[in-house]
Amino acid sequence: MPELNWLKSSFSEASGNNCVEVAAVEANHIALRESESPAAVISTNRAALRALVLGVKADKSELG
C-alpha cells in the first residue's frame, strides 16, 4: 500500500494512541486503522463507511 495521509478525529487525545485513523486510498476507497496497531489496516468504500457512521449515530440517539 502506498504512503497514506492518515487523519484522526479532533476528539482524539493529541498525545494518545487511542483512536481510529482514516486515509483516502483511491477515489472511492478508505483505509482505516487503530493508532495502537498501525500495521493492521482495513479498507472499505465510502458508501459502506457512511452507512456504518449513520447507523452508529442513529443507534446512539435511540439510547438517549
Residue 40: pLDDT band by 50, 70, 90 thresholds? very high
Residue 14 has pLDDT above 90, yes or no: no
Residue 29: pLDDT band by 50, 70, 90 thresholds? very high
What is the per-residue pLDDT for 46? 93
Q: CA-to-CA distance for 4 and 64, rounded, in angstroms?
A: 37
Which residues, in sequence order, are CB contacts of 5 under 8 Å at separation 6+? 23, 24
Pick 64 or 55 by higher pLDDT. Answer: 55
The cell numbers describing 21, all together, are: 485513523
What is the per-residue pLDDT for 11? 72
Regarding pTM above 0.85, the answer is no
Residues β-bridged to residue 21: 8, 33
